[in-house]
Amino acid sequence: MIVDIKDIKKRYSELESLFPNVFTIGGIESDLENNPFSHYLVYMKNDSIIGFINYYDIYDRMEIANFNVLDDYQNEGIGNILLKRVIELSKGKENITLEVRCDNVKAIHLYEKYGFIKKAVRKNYYNGVDGLLMEMRLMKDVYVLGIESSCDETSFSIVKNGVEEIATVISSQIDIHKDYGGVVPEIASRAHVKNITFVIEELLEKSKMTMDEIDMVAVANGPGLIGSLLVGLEAAKTIAWLYNKPLIPVHHIAGHIYANNLVKRLEFPLICLVISGGHTELVYMDKDYSFKKLGGTLDDAVGECFDKVGKVMGVEYPAGPKIDKMAKIGSHTYDLPLPLNDDSYNFSFSGLKSAVINLVHNEEQRGNEINKEDLATSFQETVVEILAKKTVHAIVNYDVKNLILAGGVSANSGIRDRMKEISEARGINFTCPEIKYCTDNAAMVAAAGYYAYLDGRRADFTLNARSSMELESDISWFFNENMI
């Protein structure tokens, strides 16, 4: 819990004795009397003071004067919490400044994580140790450049403040891969290399902006095809280095989720049904950029299932959109099993896929003709049924205000209609991404990047691509590997 020291019976002497190297006895009281700008926030645990931050609120700017956490409580994230509070209190101001000993590497890293930049060095300021002046510019409007290349789309976009799309360019490789019935990783990465500079040029033309006007670079660094991811990541690092902009790593699925934010600001708490070519998950969010996975597929992803079922029906890759169209014409005549029809939040689609494949083969052997439209309807309605059941379960259990869809399969009309119905029946809001932003694009990455930035996520140039990574709030691996 964070409190202003004036609100806890002025326990000045307690704070002074806990940090004898920082304060002299009576120092806080006299500071508060003589300096109307000065404030002390203390972090309390079981009514004991654990740490504090002393800041000056000076009209249109903030200054952090002192900041300390007891030795026994270092590494518990208390410094983060105190600093975050001061950043929140600084909303609408021009900047936050501070001074730190040059040898206090840990503190410098923490400040950098939140976007403070090294401004100047004061020689010998701390009795033989140099002082480092740092500043965080509090930008009014934030323009994020988003980069997406995790599968077979090369895309760049600029989004303002996480909600307003300025311009987006998507170069799709579907025509190259459809002859193979799926994405060929080696061909995909080569195509990204070939396309990427053209996509950047087109974006700058379309947006009428220059790289200097962009505030940060957000890149989807995973999960996805490693060779494809690396092309976008290298472009992101190059731009961030060349134009001296912060580099923000974004989880590809966080991107899909934030495609909704471009339609309507997310409302919390919410449930997101993530349905794409590689993922099928139910995710709970109680605030921005905080993800809790409730359950996921035990085998195939729903998009993969659409594509494989399409293949056996002779439908071109990607089969999802075509099956969706056929399903509108047919009727539900084929009996298919409802997969993993239990009370968990998990899914399973391989059984359903096999059931369709077996049905087609059996009918072929008997010399019967399959009615493809009827099969498409039967298959799609079975998928909708199981997705709806698990989603309702999550909405009710978590008492949420908003249901959202994410991923390529959220373009499916049957799924969209059913989820809308479910939400209306329960009086909660329903949002789905624009059809063009259901599949992979960089606008979603730029939107998510803005909230990742507000959450303090930054990377240095050692940032690597990851073919698999969990969509969770825990990013401890990331701080160890990739923080400056």
Choice from 440, 445, 448, 465 touching Zn ion (CB under 5 A) = 440
- Which tokens is 223 given? 């999960």
Closest to ligand KG4 by CB, 115 vs 255, is 255
CB of 244 to ligand KG4, least distance (A): 31
CB of 419 to Zn ion, least distance (A): 18
CB of 261 to Zn ion, least distance (A): 16
Q: Report the side by side order of strands in the sheet with 164-172.
A: 164-172, 153-160, 143-148, 216-222, 247-251
User: Distances in Å between the alpha carbon of 163 and those of 114, 144, 158, 188, 471?
Assistant: 21, 10, 10, 30, 21
Closest to Zn ion by CB, 387 vs 442, is 442
The listed partner (ligand KG4, Zn ion, none) that binds 306, CB under 5 to 8 Å by sort, is ligand KG4
CB of 468 to Zn ion, least distance (A): 14
**Helix runs in 293-409, H state only:** 302-312, 320-329, 350-365, 372-398
Closest to ligand KG4 by CB, 107 vs 375, is 375
The listed partner (Zn ion, ligand KG4, none) that binds 446, CB under 5 to 8 Å by sort, is none
CB of 277 to Zn ion, least distance (A): 7
The listed partner (Zn ion, ligand KG4, none) that binds 28, CB under 5 to 8 Å by sort, is none
Closest to Zn ion by CB, 112 vs 440, is 440
Place of tokens 């220059």: 210
Secondary structure of 142-184 in HEC code, one letter for each residue? CEEEEEECCCCEEEEEEEECCCEEEEEEEEECHHHHHHHCCCC
**What's the CA dihedral at 11, 15, 20, 21 to 10 degrees?**
-140
Residues whose CB is less than 8 angstroms from the CB of residue 478 and which lie 6 or more positions away in sequence, other chains included: 249, 457, 459
For 304, phi then psi, to 5°, come to: -60, -40
What is the C-alpha radius of gyration for the chain, rounded to an integer number of angstroms?
Answer: 26
Place of tokens 């952090």: 64
Residue 100's DSSP bridge partners are 132
CB of 27 to Zn ion, least distance (A): 56
* Residue closest to Zn ion when measured from CB atoms: 440
Cα–Cα distance measured from residue 387 to residue 305, given in angstroms and rounded to the nearest whole number: 13
The listed partner (Zn ion, ligand KG4, none) that binds 391, CB under 5 to 8 Å by sort, is none
Query: Residue 276 interacts with Zn ion (CB under 5 A)?
Result: yes
Closest to ligand KG4 by CB, 135 vs 153, is 153
The listed partner (ligand KG4, Zn ion, none) that binds 281, CB under 5 to 8 Å by sort, is none
CB of 414 to ligand KG4, least distance (A): 8
Query: Residue 281 interacts with Zn ion (CB under 5 A)?
Result: no
The listed partner (ligand KG4, Zn ion, none) that binds 303, CB under 5 to 8 Å by sort, is ligand KG4
Residues 3, 4, 6, 12: is their CA dihedral positive or negative?
Answer: positive
The listed partner (ligand KG4, Zn ion, none) that binds 259, CB under 5 to 8 Å by sort, is none
Q: Looking only at residues 9 through 48 of this chain, which bind Zn ion when binding is defined by CB under 5 A? A: none
Pairing of strands 429-431, 402-406: parallel
The listed partner (Zn ion, ligand KG4, none) that binds 318, CB under 5 to 8 Å by sort, is ligand KG4
Residues binding ligand KG4 (CB under 6 A): 151, 276-278, 303, 306-307, 318-321, 324, 407-409, 411-412, 439-440
* H helix count then E strand count, the chain: 15, 17
Cis peptide upstream of residue 246 (ω within 30 degrees of 0): no
CB of 324 to ligand KG4, least distance (A): 4
* Residue closest to ligand KG4 when measured from CB atoms: 408
CB of 474 to ligand KG4, least distance (A): 22
Residues forming contacts to Zn ion in the complex (CB under 5 A) are 276, 440
